């Protein structure tokens, strides 16, 4: 019985991945080889914007396939023409939301834990004057986000506009990252701050 359940699960995952990849292709997402989809991601691609996904990327939108569970499917959303989301080769994402008004870049082999949010914009103007309805891009602050290679972002972390996270760094669960983090460090908290260095020679 256990063997049959494993076979069923594998076949089901392959079917979901096949139709998910077909959906992404129809939506205009550029993706590489061996994209694995557990559950169906939510994709919103504005005309003249781009979502680029590299080889061997895993997008997990199902609580059955990740230890912590996810609050919602992976969501990739571009907000303006010419905005870009780039997931490099071997990136893993679990139930994260990534929104780009300008650019969000996630480097090679980086992992985004359950329910992470990466956003490069304030979504609304800071000024209270007509804040509710003003969607003029010139009045809404946006700045690209860059996450380096081999970075691990802990569950429920929020990464805000203008942040760069250096290669190999670890961001503790539940952090709010409001400013850039150097490479080879552990950082955590609200706001996220340096805790210790990582010995990369081991």
List, for residues 7-35, the tens digit of each pLDDT value: 556 666 677 777 778 888 888 899 999 99
Give CA–CA dist 147/110, Å, rounded.
8
pLDDT of residue 30: 95
pLDDT of residue 71: 86
Per residue in 39-67, pLDDT (tens digit) is 899 999 999 999 999 999 999 998 877 77
72 in catalytic set: no
Residue 153: name the closest of 136, 170, 140 by CA. Answer: 170
Give CA–CA dist 114/60, Å, rounded.
9
- Local structure of residue 63 (DSSP, 8 states): G
Q: Sketch the domain layout of the chain as residue ranges.
A: 2-197
- Alpha-carbon torsion (82, 99, 50, 143), positive or negative: positive
Strand order in the sheet with 75-78: 42-44, 75-78, 97-100, 117-119, 158-159, 176-177
pLDDT of residue 29: 94
pLDDT of residue 6: 63
Active-site residue, selected from the candidate residues 36, 80, 124, 143? 124
Q: Return the CATH number of 2-197, one of 3.40.50.620, 3.40.640.10, 2.60.40.1120, 2.160.10.10.
A: 2.160.10.10
pLDDT of residue 4: 61
pLDDT of residue 9: 64
Placement of tokens 């670890």 in the chain = 170
Low-confidence stretches of the chain (pLDDT beneath 50): none
């Amino acid at each position: 019985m256990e063997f049959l359940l494993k076979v069923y699960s594998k076949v089901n995952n392959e079917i979901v991945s096949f139709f998910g990849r077909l959906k992404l292709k129809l939506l205009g997402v550029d993706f590489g080889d061996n994209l694995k989809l557990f559950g169906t991601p939510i994709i919103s691609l504005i005309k003249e914007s781009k979502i680029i996904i590299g080889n061997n990327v895993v997008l997990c939108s199902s609580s059955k396939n990740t230890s912590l569970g996810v609050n919602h499917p992976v969501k990739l959303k571009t907000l303006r023409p010419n905005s870009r989301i780039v997931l490099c080769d071997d990136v893993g994402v679990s139930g994260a939301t990534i929104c780009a008004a300008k650019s969000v870049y996630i480097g090679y082999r980086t992992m985004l834990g359950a329910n992470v949010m990466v956003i490069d914009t304030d979504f609304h103007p800071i000024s209270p004057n007509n804040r509710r309805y003003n969607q003029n891009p010139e009045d809404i602050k946006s700045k690209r986000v860059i996450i380096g290679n081999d970075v691990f972002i802990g569950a429920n972390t929020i990464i805000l506009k203008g942040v760069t996270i250096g290669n190999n760094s670890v961001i503790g669960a539940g952090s709010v990252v409001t400013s850039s983090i150097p490479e080879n460090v552990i950082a955590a908290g609200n706001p996220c701050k340096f805790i210790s260095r990582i010995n990369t020679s081991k």
